[in-house]
């Protein structure tokens, strides 16, 4: 099915979800056809999550359990929904397990902001248990310098069909089948946000981050910390420990990421990015810019460096994100869009300015804005605001931050 048709079907389904009306069964059947999985997740599933509306968690669970029943012959939507209603209720952990599995949130930014806090709590609450992060190699690299955190490798097939995504979850259950163990799920895509059973309910602790905090505007870091305290009785903090990348630089430098996580709505264009690099080049003798995984992002970075007119002061990082996060930890200032880099800087306490665009609700902005012990300024970009206004606001924030620290 053509992507335009898939997108139209997904938008129709989303409209029903947001309006609270019942969707036609044909929509689910059509979206399960080959080629529509990306539209289903990008347009419907991600939007329902990004709104952070507690009521939409019920809508999502109702919708997705029906999809699971259609995609998995052995699945029963009613049973899956009933289980979800049970595990979403927060409860105090009284177990003393020999092994603790913490599921990755799949995206690196969420693994820094949320999963790293869960790992910190698990290490403190269960000091004698074996602690494992369940997720990709990229996620594991964020904690590679901490020998107390082991790794169970599970790669989430983002580009796969829904049946293939669900099959990966079933395979996950086999990999973490260990006696006297518990699983902590911080709203992971590996379980389709808590809907896919991967262990006994008694051993499963699920943080439904989309509804926790109700209709308030608290930051996701504060909500995660509260849930961990109520569940495990320990204070936790975001903390990543990548292997250190030697810089051989004695002079202070800044770090920059123009990554947008495949969301072009967060991006403000080459003139904006080049102008920010020019300003940073006037404030620091050296600026490290993350070139991402190559492709379009690397091209944008090179264009911004050229547009800055200060190419001799800019270096591009072409390695892993964990390596770049090590550079962030050693830098004096960080600048970027809403992406993983801002959460790494916040976790390290590095002064930062985040340019936050493309958010679909004010609550999304408040939930995901970077939070940490360092100086932080967020330049929120509302729809329709002129780029020059955002640029001037960002430059003023950068100047304030760099002169304060």
- In tens digits, the chain (405 residues) has pLDDT values of 566 799 999 999 999 999 999 999 999 999 998 689 999 999 999 999 999 999 999 999 999 999 999 999 889 999 999 999 999 999 999 999 999 999 999 999 999 999 999 999 999 999 999 999 999 999 999 999 999 999 999 999 988 889 989 988 888 999 998 999 999 999 999 999 999 999 999 999 999 999 999 999 999 999 999 999 999 999 999 999 999 998 876 789 999 999 888 788 898 988 999 999 999 998 999 999 999 776 777 888 898 888 888 888 899 999 999 999 999 999 999 999 999 999 999 999 999 999 999 999 999 999 999 999 999 999 999 888 999 999 999 999 999 988 755
Vertex 102 angle, CA 128 and 124, to 5°: 35
Q: Which fold has domain 254-404?
A: Rossmann fold (3.40.50)
The residues pairing with 315 across neighbouring beta strands, listed in sequence order, are: 288
Select from 196, 19, 224, 13 the least CA-distant residue to 111.
224
> Is the four-CA dihedral 135, 138, 141, 142 of positive or negative sign?
negative
Q: Within 10 Å of residue 312's Cβ, how many Cβ atoms?
A: 9
pTM: 0.95
Do the domains 254-404 and 99-232 match in fold?
Answer: yes
CA distances from 71 to 1, 67, 74, 84, 342 (A): 18, 6, 9, 18, 37
User: Which sequence spans correspond to the domains of the chain?
Assistant: 3-87, 99-232, 254-404
Domain 99-232's class?
A: alpha beta
Q: What is the pLDDT of residues 16-53, one digit of tens each?
A: 999 999 999 999 999 998 689 999 999 999 999 999 99
């Amino acid at each position: 099915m053509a992507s335009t048709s898939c997108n139209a079907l997904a938008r129709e389904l989303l409209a029903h979800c947001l309006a609270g009306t019942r969707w036609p069964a044909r929509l689910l059947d059509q979206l399960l056809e080959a080629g529509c999985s990306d539209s289903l997740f990008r347009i419907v599933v991600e939007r329902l999550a990004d709104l952070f509306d507690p009521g939409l968690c019920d809508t999502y669970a109702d919708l997705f359990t029906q999809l699971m029943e259609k995609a998995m012959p052995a699945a029963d939507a009613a049973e899956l929904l009933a289980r979800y209603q049970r595990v979403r209720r927060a409860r105090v952990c009284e177990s003393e397990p020999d092994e603790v599995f913490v599921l990755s949130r799949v995206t690196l930014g969420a693994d820094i902001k949320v999963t790293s806090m869960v790992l910190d709590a698990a290490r403190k609450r269960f000091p004698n248990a074996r602690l494992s992060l369940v997720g990709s190699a990229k996620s594991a690299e964020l904690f590679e310098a901490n020998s107390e955190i082991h790794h169970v490798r599970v790669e989430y097939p983002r580009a796969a069909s829904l049946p293939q995504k669900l099959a990966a979850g079933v395979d996950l259950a086999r990999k973490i089948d260990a006696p006297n163990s518990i699983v902590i799920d911080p709203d992971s895509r590996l379980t389709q946000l808590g809907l896919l059973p991967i262990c006994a309910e008694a051993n499963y602790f699920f943080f439904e981050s989309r509804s926790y905090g109700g209709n308030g505007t608290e930051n996701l870091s504060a909500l995660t910390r509260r849930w961990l305290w109520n569940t495990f009785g320990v204070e936790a903090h975001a903390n990543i420990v990548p292997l250190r990348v030697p810089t051989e630089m004695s002079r202070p430098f800044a770090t920059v990421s123009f990554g947008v996580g495949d969301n072009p709505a967060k991006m403000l264009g080459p003139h904006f990015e080049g102008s920010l690099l020019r300003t940073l080049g006037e404030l620091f003798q050296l600026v490290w810019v993350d070139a991402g995984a190559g492709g379009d992002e690397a091209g944008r970075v090179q264009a911004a460096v050229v547009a800055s007119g200060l190419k001799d002061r800019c270096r591009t990082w072409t390695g892993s994100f964990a390596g770049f996060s090590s550079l962030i930890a050693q830098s004096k200032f960080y600048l970027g869009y809403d992406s993983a880099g801002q959460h790494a800087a916040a976790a390290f306490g590095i002064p930062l300015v985040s340019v936050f665009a493309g958010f679909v609700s004010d609550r999304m902005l408040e939930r995901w804005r970077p939070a940490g012990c360092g100086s932080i300024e967020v330049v929120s970009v509302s729809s329709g605001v002129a780029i020059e206004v955002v640029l001037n606001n960002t430059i003023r924030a950068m100047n304030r931050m760099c002169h304060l620290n």
